[in-house]
Every structure is written in structure tokens, then in C-alpha cells.
Amino acid sequence: MTEDCNYHKTYQGLVAFDLDHTLLDHKTWQITPSALDAIRKLQEKHYLTVIASGRNMHAPYSVEYLNQVKPDALVHMNGTRVEYGTEVLQDHRMDVGLLKRVLEFCEGHGLAVGMQIDEVDYFTWPDQVVKHDMDYWGSSERNFDAPEKLLELPVRALAYCGDKAGADELAGAFPELSVLMFSKDTGADVFEKGFSKADGLHLLAEKLGIDWQRTYAFGDSHNDRSMLEAVSCGIAMGNAVPEIKEIADYVTDAIDQDGIYHALIHFGLIS
């Protein structure tokens, strides 16, 4: 990320980007080059650029993409952590009692839930995680440890590996959780209600004095819904799930057809 935390800087607006299937093309595992070009142009025009992701963007499997994009701010782990430059504006950790109950429930109901911290994977039912990896990536190189160790670690959000039926079961058992399926229906983000990408963007806009009428967001999946509905202009990728296209203000081209670049041209944010 950029390191300047100068609150006297005047931003023309805010533009937020989901990572997976929005900036990051899973067919190539590369950030779309035209999107990187567009982000640089936005920054030159003094727009606040934000990665808004369910991921922990400082994790080893994500930091390379963070270093490529170099956003001004982060709303990650679905808004449980918000950063501007080097300053942490919000950092919410999951209640330990709730986390314990979730892990026990998932262990007893055959649901794979957990997270990776410092290249160690703490999951219930790790064999299901390996199956998920093999089905999606064709390989699995995990370093598993006991999931109960998460109770002593900083947990802000969890990942569920499995189908929608399992996600619905988890959501039904824990109404205090948001359980939002990934766009490919291979799993879900799991985090406490009261946090969202939209709330994180509101926090940034308020802190930096950005006019909410000059806010834009790009996304493709269920955890992008809150920010696409909240911002002045919510933009769905052409490869987005149908539900996201339905609520978006504008649908652009797919990620592999330079959708971000074309939408920013369309709205006159870059030239």
C-alpha cells in the first residue's frame, strides 16, 4: 500500500475493488494489466483506491497481489479490518466464545471451517479442505494444525470449504454470523454480523472527508453486495453472479475483457 497518511490530502472520490474474479483473474492467477493501469490513472487524479476483499491481504497467499496493486487503503476480511496507508482504522477480532462454539459445531456436523495464519492451516475436517483444493486448483499444499489453536490466535474471519447446503446449515445455527458464498459456490466467508465491506468504505470516506456521491465499487460475488448497494455507483463485473448483476447500477465487461478499465472510461473517471 501507499504509505502516506496525510489527512490534509483532498480526494476527488473513492473507488473500491474486490480482488478475486474482479482484479485477480483465476484463469491466469494474475491481476488484470489494464486494471493496474486504470488504478494508477485513478491515483494520479487523486481518487482514493481501495482493495475491499474477504481475504487477509497481508497473508502470504495475498501479499503479492497487494504489492502489485498498491492501493491507498484496505477493507479486508469483509470489513473487520480497515487500513489507510500504515494506519489501522478498525481491527475487530471474533469473540472467542463464539469461535469456540462454531468450531465445535462444525467438528460435530462434518463442516470444514477455519483459516490460515502465518502459513499454517487451522481447519476442522482438513480432508474436505484438501478435496476443495484438488477440485479447484488441482493440487493441495497445506500445513495443517489443530483448529482449537485458533482460540489463542487473532481471528477476524473464517473460511468455509463446502457446498451451499453446509453454508446454510452453519448460518442457521449461528444467526450472529454472516455466511456469504464465494462466486464459484466452493465455500464461503464467515464473520460476525455488524461488519461489511460497505461499513469499511463508509469509515474511510468519513475519516478522509470524501463526498459519498463520488464513491464507486467493483465486485462479482455475494460478499460484494453490501458495498455495491451502498456506494453511489455499484459496478458488477460481466462474470459476476446473477444476483450481483441484478442489484448493480452498471454491469461492465468480464474480468478477461478489461471490464474495470472500460467501466472507468464509461464513467469518465479516467481517460
Examine the fold and report which residue of 174, 192, 210 is the final residue of a domain before the chain moves on: 192
pLDDT of residue 270: 98
Examine the fold and report which residue of 192, 221, 239 is the final residue of a domain before the chain moves on: 192
pLDDT in tens, 76-86: 999 999 999 99
Do 204 and 130 belong to one domain? no
Do 77 and 106 belong to one domain? no
Nearest to 16 by CA among 39, 40, 34: 39
> For residue 3, is pLDDT > 70?
no
The CA distances from residue 260 to 33, 42, 94, 183, in Å, are 10, 12, 33, 18
pLDDT of residue 7: 54
Average pLDDT over residues 128-147: 90
Do 70 and 181 belong to one domain? no
Examine the fold and report which residue of 192, 226, 244 is the final residue of a domain before the chain moves on: 192
Do 106 and 154 belong to one domain? yes
Note whether 84 and 5 are within 8 A (CB).
Answer: yes
Do 73 and 110 belong to one domain? no
230 lies in some domain: yes
pLDDT of residue 183: 77
Please tell me the pTM assigned to this model. 0.91
pLDDT in tens, 89-118: 999 999 999 999 999 999 999 999 999 998
pLDDT of residue 9: 74
CA distance 235 to 264: 10
5 lies in some domain: no
Note whether 22 and 220 are within 8 A (CB).
Answer: yes
Look at the block and give the residue holding cell 483459516: 115
Average pLDDT over residues 26-31: 95
7 lies in some domain: no
pLDDT of residue 185: 78
Do 88 and 100 belong to one domain? no
Do 131 and 77 belong to one domain? no
At residue 188, the 3 state secondary structure works out as: strand
Q: How confident is the model at residue 8 (pLDDT cuts 50, 70, 90)?
A: low
The mean pLDDT of the chain is 95
Number of folded domains in the chain? 2
> For residue 125, is pLDDT > 60?
yes
pLDDT of residue 139: 85
CATH assignment of the domain containing 142: 3.30.1240.10
Note whether 30 and 24 are within 8 A (CB).
Answer: yes
Do 124 and 136 belong to one domain? yes
At residue 259, the 3 state secondary structure works out as: helix
19 lies in some domain: yes
pLDDT of residue 11: 97
Do 101 and 188 belong to one domain? yes
1 lies in some domain: no
59 lies in some domain: yes
Domain that holds residue 173: 96-192
User: 11-24: string of b/e by CB count within 10 Å (b at 16+)?
Assistant: bebbbbbbbbbbbb
Average pLDDT over residues 52-65: 94
3 lies in some domain: no
Do 134 and 257 belong to one domain? no
Average pLDDT over residues 225-242: 97
Looking at the chain, the whole-number percentage of residues with pLDDT higher than 70 is 97
6 lies in some domain: no
Do 88 and 199 belong to one domain? yes
pLDDT in tens, 147-204: 999 999 999 999 999 999 999 999 999 999 999 998 777 899 999 999 999 999 999 9
Do 18 and 40 belong to one domain? yes
